[in-house]
C-alpha cells in the first residue's frame, strides 16, 4: 500500500478485520520508538514518568487531539534493547515489551508483574474503526470512564462515548451527557490506567457478549492512548490529571448550598426564595436563573416583563449574601435583528454545512444557529457577549444543552467545525463541543471579571473539562434508585479527574417524597457540588416545601456542610494541586479489597479523606455498612468499630451513616448563613485516635480573587503522630492573615486529661458535643429506639491561633 495514501482513500476491501501486522521497520527516537508494518505506522513515547503513549495509524502522519492533554513530554530516562524478536523499553516505573512479529504489547512493573497485555488480536482496523484488544487479568476490576451508569466495577458491560442529551435517563442507560475515555484496571498484580485520546465516538467493552478480551475502539481516527502505571490508584489519577489538567480553586461561595428551579420568575419570586432561606436560618449562597429569565429563550437577553431591572435585583440579592448564576444555551435564534445572530453571521462564527450554509437546529428559541466553539474567534466573541450578564452583576455561568442538544436528537454528521484550523466533521467534534463551550464561558468570566475566580457549571464535556467547569449529572429523576446512582456517577467522575461534581438533589424530573428529599439533602451535603433543582410543572421543592420535619433535617445537614467549610475548602485546594477527588470511591484507597466492589457497598465513599459516607435509601431504617481496614468512629456518637467487617447501622431519616477514619484530622467552624458571613473566628480541630497517623493541610485565602496565586494564602500542615502521641503544627506559609484567632482542639477516643503545649501542661476541659441538632418532636419512633446522638464529655483544649510551629504532646 502506498505510504502516502490519504485518509480518504482506504481500500474498498478494508471493511474486514485487519491486524497491525509484522513490524518491518523501526527506529529509536529521543522519546522511545517509531516504525511501521506493511500498511500501518506506530509511535511509542515515554511521555512522563510512569506514562507511556502508544500511537497507531494507517497513515504516516499521526492525528492528535488539541484539547485534552496539557502536559508536554518530559525527558525521562529509559533503556531500549532488542532480544528474541522483541523490543524491551524500560523506565524507572514500567517495562514494556513489543513483539515484532505481531505488534503485541505487554506492560510490566519493575518487579516483573504483568499489568496489562494485548490479546493476540492486538491493534486492528475494520474500515476506519480502530480497536485495541486486551487480555483480562485474573480477578481484574475496571473502574472509571467518568459519567457512566451501572456498577463501580465495569466488568461485563460495554459503554459508548457520545455526548447525549438524555432527559430522565434510566439508572442503567448509556450514553449520557459527558465522555471521559479514561479507565483503570485493578488486579492482584497491580493497577494501571488507560486514557484513549480520541474524540470520535468510542466504545469500551469490558467483557460484554464475549469471554475472550476487553477492548476499546473508535469509529475513526488513530489509536492514541496513554498507559499509566504508578504504585497506587490515587497516584494513577494524579498522573492522569497531570496530563489533562486539574480543577482551578473555585470561589468559596461555589462550595455553599445552591438553589435552582426551572424556572424562578418573575423577580419577586426570586426575592421571596432568597428571603425565605434567610428567614428560616438555612444557609445558602446561590440562586439560579434558568431559561425563563430570557426573552423568548434567547441567550444574552432578559425578559423585560419578568425582570424589569435585573441589575437592581442582583444587587439586592448580593446584599443578602446570594450570588446569581445564569444559564447559557448555545443555540442562537436565527432571527434578523437579534444582534448575536447578526454578529455570528457577519463574523462567520457558526457551525456550517460543507457548502458554506449555516447549520440550523431547533432548540428552545426555535430554529437556531450554533456557535463553533472549536474556533478561537468564536470563543473570544462569546467572552465579549458575556459582558451583558457581568455588567448586571452575574458571577456564575451554567452551560447547558451543550452536547449539543437539538430537538430530534440526530445532528447530521456532515456539518463542519473549525477544530483549531484542522477542520472536522460532527463525528469528530461533537464530544469536544461542550467542553469548548465551558472553556469559552470560563474565559469570558475571567475577561469580564478579571479580579474574580470564575465559576462555570457544565452538562457536557470531555477529558480535561475539569480545567474549565464543575459538572452535574443532568436531568435525573426523583427516585431512590436515581439518588444512589447519582452517588456512583459523582464518584466515577472523581475517578476520572472531575473532582468538582454533583447531582440535582431531590431529582429534576418527577416528584420527590418527603423522605426521599430529606435523605437526598443529607447525602448531597457530602457532595463536592451541592445544588437542589427541579423542573417546571412540578411541586415546589425547596428545603422547606416538604413540611417541618424535612425542613429541620435539611437545615441540620446544610449547617453541617457550612461548619465543615474549613475542611472542604482545604480539600478543594489540595485537589487543585493533586487532581484527587473530594468524593472518593473506596476503590481508591482500598483497591485490593473485594468487598468495596460489591453491590451492597459500592456506593460508599470517603469525603474529604476523613469521612466515610454510607448512602442509604430513605425507605430503610437500618442498613449494612462495610468498614474497610482500620478503625472507624461513628460521627454522631464516637462509637468505635473495627474495620474489615460489615456492621448493621440504624439510619433514621435524620441520621445518614457517617464514620470518621481513625487517625484522621479535620477542621470545622461555627455556623454561618452564607460563605461570606462572619464566624466566631474559632477553628475547631477534630483529632481521632488511631494506630496510623495522618496529615491535614489547612488552607485559607480571601475566598475569591487571584491574589492567592502570588502568595496571599494561609497554609499549614497539621500532623497527627500516634507513635509520639503528638499533634504537630508546622510554620504557617503565605501572606494571608488567618480568619481564625483561636484554635479549639477536640480529642476523640483519647484517654488524655492533660496535654503539653510549648512546654506548658494544660488540663483539658470537656463538653457535650453534637454534630447535628435534635429532632425528637418529629421522630416517629420512641427516643430510646432512635436516640439523640451526642458525644458526652468530649475533651478539648483552646489556645490562641499561633502561626509559628508548635506541638501538642501527651496524646494517649
User: b/e map of 543-575 (b: 16 or more CB within 10 Å)?
Assistant: bbbbeebbbbbbbbbbbbbbbbbbbbbbbbbbb
222 is catalytic: no
By CB neighbour count within 10 A (0-12 exposed, 13-18 middle, 19+ buried), where does 639 fall? Answer: middle
For residue 469, give the C-alpha cell.
Answer: 467547569
Cβ pair 615, 586 in contact under 8 A: no
For residue 356, give the C-alpha cell.
Answer: 458554506
Q: Among all chains, which residue has been given the C-alpha cell 464530544?
A: 431
DSSP letter at 487 equals: H
> How are strands ordered across the β-sheet holding 332-333?
332-333, 366-369, 360-363
Determine how many CB atoms are found less than 10 A away from the CB of residue 225. Answer: 22
Quick one: which of 226, 215, 221 has its CA closest to 120?
215
Rounded Cα gap, residues 402 and 414, in angstroms: 18
Q: Among all chains, which residue has been given the C-alpha cell 471493511?
A: 15
End-to-end CA distance of the chain: 75
**Residue 572: φ, ψ to 5°:** -65, -40
Quick one: which of 463, 495, 480, 475 has its CA closest to 152?
495
403 is catalytic: yes
User: b/e map of 151-184 (b: 16 or more CB within 10 Å)?
Assistant: bbbbbebbbebbbbbbebbebeebbbbbbbbbbb
Cβ pair 617, 519 in contact under 8 A: yes
Residues 6+ away with beta carbon under 8 Å from 196: 132, 181, 182, 202, 204, 216, 218, 223, 224, 225
Cβ pair 462, 67 in contact under 8 A: yes
3-state DSSP: the chain helix, strand, coil percent, rounded to 5?
A: 20, 30, 50
Cβ pair 26, 11 in contact under 8 A: no
Q: In this structure, is the dihedral angle defined by the CA atoms of residues 797, 800, 801 and 804, taken in order, positive or negative?
A: negative
**Residue 699: φ, ψ to 5°:** -135, 135
Rounded Cα gap, residues 370 and 351, in angstroms: 6
Rounded (10°) angle between helices 426-448 and 376-385 = 40
Query: Is residue 761 classed as helix, strand or coil in its secondary structure?
Result: strand
For residue 110, give the C-alpha cell.
Answer: 519493575
Quick one: which of 412, 434, 473 has its CA closest to 174?
473
Query: Is residue 248 classed as helix, strand or coil in its secondary structure?
Result: coil
Cβ pair 755, 808 in contact under 8 A: yes
Residues 6+ away with beta carbon under 8 Å from 125: 14, 17, 18, 58, 131
Query: Is residue 106 classed as helix, strand or coil in its secondary structure?
Result: strand
Question: Which residue out of 403, 416, 552, 701 is catalytically annotated?
Answer: 403
Rounded Cα gap, residues 632 and 644, in angstroms: 10
Question: Which residue out of 400, 416, 584, 609 is catalytically annotated?
Answer: 400
Determine how many CB atoms are found less than 10 A away from the CB of residue 811. Answer: 21
Q: Among all chains, which residue has been given the C-alpha cell 462550595?
A: 255
Cβ pair 373, 432 in contact under 8 A: no
329 is catalytic: no
How many Å is the Cα radius of gyration of the chain? 27
Question: Which residue out of 303, 475, 480, 704 is catalytically annotated?
Answer: 475
Determine how many CB atoms are found less than 10 A away from the CB of residue 656. Answer: 25
Q: Just list the catalytic residues.
A: 400, 403, 475
Amino acid at each position: 500500500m502506498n505510504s502516502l495514501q490519504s485518509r480518504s482513500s482506504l481500500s474498498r476491501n478494508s471493511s474486514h478485520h485487519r491486524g497491525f501486522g509484522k513490524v518491518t521497520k523501526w527506529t529509536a527516537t529521543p522519546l522511545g520508538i517509531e516504525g511501521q508494518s506493511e500498511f500501518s505506522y506506530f509511535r511509542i513515547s515515554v511521555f512522563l514518568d510512569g506514562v507511556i503513549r502508544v500511537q497507531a495509524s494507517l497513515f504516516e502522519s499521526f492525528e492528535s487531539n488539541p484539547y485534552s492533554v496539557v502536559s508536554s513530554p518530559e525527558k525521562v530516562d529509559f533503556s531500549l534493547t532488542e532480544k528474541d524478536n522483541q523490543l524491551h523499553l524500560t523506565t524507572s516505573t514500567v517495562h514494556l515489551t513489543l513483539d515484532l512479529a505481531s505488534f503485541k504489547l505487554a506492560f510490566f512493573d519493575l518487579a516483573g508483574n504483568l499489568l496489562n497485555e494485548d490479546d493476540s488480536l492486538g491493534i486492528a482496523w475494520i474500515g476506519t474503526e480502530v480497536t485495541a484488544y486486551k487480555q483480562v487479568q485474573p480477578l481484574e476490576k475496571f473502574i472509571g470512564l467518568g459519567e457512566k451508569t451501572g456498577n463501580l466495577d465495569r466488568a461485563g458491560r460495554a459503554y459508548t462515548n457520545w455526548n447525549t442529551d438524555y432527559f430522565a435517563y434510566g439508572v442503567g442507560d448509556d450514553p449520557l451527557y459527558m465522555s471521559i475515555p479514561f479507565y483503570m484496571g485493578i488486579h492482584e498484580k497491580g493497577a494501571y490506567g488507560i486514557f484513549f485520546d480520541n474524540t470520535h465516538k468510542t466504545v469500551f467493552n469490558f467483557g460484554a457478549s464475549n469471554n475472550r478480551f476487553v477492548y476499546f475502539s473508535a469509529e475513526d481516527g488513530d489509536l492514541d492512548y496513554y498507559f499509566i502505571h504508578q504504585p497506587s490508584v490515587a497516584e494513577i489519577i494524579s498522573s492522569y490529571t497531570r496530563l489533562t489538567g486539574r480543577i482551578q480553586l473555585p470561589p468559596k461561595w461555589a462550595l455553599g448550598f445552591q438553589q435552582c428551579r426551572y424556572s424562578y420568575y418573575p423577580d419577586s419570586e426570586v426575592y421571596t426564595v432568597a428571603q425565605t432561606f434567610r428567614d428560616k436560618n438555612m444557609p445558602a449562597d446561590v440562586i439560579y436563573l434558568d431559561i425563563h429569565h430570557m426573552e423568548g429563550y434567547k441567550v444574552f437577553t432578559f425578559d423585560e416583563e419578568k425582570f424589569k431591572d435585573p441589575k437592581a435585583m442582583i444587587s439586592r440579592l448580593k446584599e443578602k449574601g446570594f450570588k446569581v448564576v445564569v444559564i447559557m444555551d448555545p443555540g442562537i435564534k436565527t432571527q434578523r435583528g437579534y444582534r448575536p445572530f447578526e454578529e455570528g453571521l457577519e463574523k462567520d462564527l457558526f457551525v456550517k454545512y460543507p457548502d458554506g450554509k449555516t447549520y440550523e437546529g431547533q432548540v428552545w428559541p426555535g430554529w437556531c444557529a450554533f456557535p463553533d466553539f472549536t474556533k478561537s474567534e468564536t470563543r473570544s466573541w462569546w467572552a465579549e457577549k458575556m459582558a451583558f450578564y457581568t455588567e448586571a452583576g452575574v458571577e456564575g455561568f451554567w452551560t447547558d444543552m451543550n452536547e449539543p442538544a437539538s430537538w430530534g436528537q440526530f445532528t447530521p454528521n456532515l456539518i463542519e467545525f473549525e477544530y483549531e484550523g484542522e477542520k472536522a466533521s460532527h463525528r469528530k467534534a461533537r464530544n469536544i463541543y461542550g467542553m469548548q463551550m465551558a472553556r469559552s464561558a470560563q474565559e469570558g468570566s475571567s475577561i469580564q471579571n478579571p479580579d474574580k475566580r470564575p465559576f462555570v457549571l457544565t452538562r457536557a464535556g470531555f477529558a480535561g473539562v475539569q480545567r474549565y467547569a464543575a459538572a452535574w449529572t443532568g436531568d435525573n429523576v426523583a427516585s431512590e434508585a436515581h439518588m444512589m446512582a447519582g452517588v456512583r456517577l459523582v464518584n466515577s467522575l472523581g475517578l476520572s479527574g472531575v473532582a468538582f461534581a454533583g447531582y440535582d438533589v431531590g431529582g429534576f424530573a418527577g416528584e420527590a417524597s418527603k423522605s426521599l428529599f430529606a435523605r437526598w439533602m443529607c447525602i448531597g451535603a457530602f457532595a463536592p457540588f451541592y445544588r437542589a433543582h427541579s423542573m417546571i410543572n412540578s411541586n415546589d421543592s425547596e428545603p422547606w416545601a416538604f413540611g417541618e420535619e424535612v425542613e429541620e433535617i435539611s437545615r441540620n445537614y446544610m449547617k453541617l456542610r457550612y461548619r465543615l467549610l474549613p475542611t472542604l475548602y482545604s480539600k478543594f485546594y489540595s485537589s487543585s494541586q493533586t487532581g484527587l477527588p473530594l468524593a472518593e470511591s473506596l476503590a481508591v484507597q482500598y483497591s485490593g479489597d473485594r468487598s468495596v466492589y460489591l453491590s451492597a457497598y459500592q456506593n460508599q465513599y470517603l469525603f474529604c479523606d476523613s469521612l466515610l459516607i454510607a448512602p442509604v435509601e430513605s425507605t430503610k431504617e437500618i442498613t449494612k455498612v462495610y468498614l474497610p481496614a482500620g478503625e472507624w468512629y461513628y460521627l454522631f456518637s464516637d462509637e468505635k468499630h473495627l474495620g474489615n467487617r460489615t456492621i448493621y447501622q440504624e439510619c433514621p431519616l435524620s441520621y445518614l451513616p457517617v464514620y470518621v477514619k481513625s487517625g484522621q484530622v479535620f477542621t470545622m467552624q461555627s455556623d454561618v448563613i452564607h460563605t461570606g458571613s462572619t464566624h466566631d473566628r474559632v477553628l475547631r480541630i477534630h483529632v481521632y485516635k488511631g494506630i496510623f497517623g495522618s496529615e491535614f493541610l489547612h488552607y485559607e485565602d480571601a475566598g475569591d480573587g487571584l491574589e492567592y496565586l502570588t502568595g496571599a494564602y494561609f497554609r499549614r500542615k497539621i500532623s497527627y503522630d500516634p507513635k509520639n502521641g503528638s499533634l504537630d503544627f508546622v510554620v504557617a506559609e503565605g501572606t494571608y492573615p488567618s480568619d481564625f484567632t483561636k484554635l479549639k482542639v477536640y480529642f476523640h477516643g483519647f484517654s488524655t486529661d492533660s496535654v503539653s503545649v510549648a512546654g506548658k501542661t494544660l488540663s483539658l476541659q470537656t463538653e457535650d458535643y453534637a454534630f447535628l441538632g435534635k429532632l425528637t418532636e418529629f421522630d416517629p419512633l420512641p427516643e430510646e429506639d432512635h436516640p439523640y446522638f451526642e458525644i458526652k464529655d468530649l475533651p478539648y483544649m483552646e489556645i490562641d491561633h499561633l502561626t509559628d510551629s508548635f506541638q501538642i504532646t501527651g496524646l494517649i
